[in-house]
């Protein structure tokens, strides 16, 4: 039997927007709310270079990566052609306006992904 973790109320997620959910380990989960009030949960990680999908634009049933413009399907995490790749999905449940995520997935799913380093590229020390 699936155990569910309460996250927030549906109204706490902006319509055609996102909310990030921190986890004890691993990257955050992004909760997306479509214009039709459908809720989807993806790892907050673009399959191209790891950008934060929660900062992208939600349109229809997709989100656009804010860094490189890839379009990711909210229902399955798949990049739309011509791009290829996917971001992990999480099971989500809405009950009486409350949003829940699968507790086991929050703890164990997609822990191997990392955010790309930010800032200037690292260079070897002179003479190294």
Rounded Cα distance between 25 and 33, Å, is: 24
Residue 40 lies in a domain: yes
CA dihedral in degrees (29, 42, 85, 58; nearest 10)? -110
This model's pTM is above 0.75: yes
Q: How confident is the model over 13-56, as pLDDT tens digits?
A: 999 999 999 999 999 999 999 999 999 999 999 999 999 999 99
Q: How confident is the model over 71-121, as pLDDT tens digits?
A: 999 999 999 999 999 999 999 999 999 999 999 999 999 999 998 777 666
Residue 125 lies in a domain: no
Helix residue ranges, H only, the chain: 103-108
Domain with 91 in it: what CATH number? 2.102.10.10
Residue 123 lies in a domain: no
Q: What share of the chain is helix, strand, coil (3-state, %, to 5)?
A: 10, 35, 55
Residue 114 lies in a domain: no
Sheet holding 39-43, edge to edge: 17-21, 29-33, 39-43, 89-90
Residue 70 lies in a domain: yes
Residue 35 lies in domain = 4-108
* CA 108 centroid distance within chain: 15
Residue 119 lies in a domain: no
Residue 20 lies in a domain: yes
Sheet holding 62-64, edge to edge: 57-59, 62-64, 71-73
Overall domain count for the chain: 1
Q: How confident is the model over 87-98, as pLDDT tens digits?
A: 999 999 999 999
Name residue, tokens 């989960």.
29
Residue 122 lies in a domain: no
Query: Which of helix, strand or coil describes residue 105?
Result: helix
């Amino acid at each position: 039997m699936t155990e569910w973790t309460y996250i927030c109320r549906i109204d706490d997620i902006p319509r055609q927007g996102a909310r990030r959910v921190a986890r004890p380990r691993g990257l955050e989960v992004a909760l997306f709310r479509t214009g039709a009030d459908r809720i989807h949960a993806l790892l907050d990680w673009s399959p191209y270079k790891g950008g934060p999908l929660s900062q992208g634009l939600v349109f229809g049933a997709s989100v656009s990566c804010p860094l490189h413009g890839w379009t990711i399907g909210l229902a399955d995490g798949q990049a739309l052609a011509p791009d290829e790749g996917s971001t992990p999905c999480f099971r989500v449940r809405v009950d009486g306006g409350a949003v829940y995520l699968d507790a086991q997935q929050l703890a164990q799913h997609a822990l191997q992904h990392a955010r790309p380093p930010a800032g200037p590229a690292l260079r070897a020390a002179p003479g190294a």
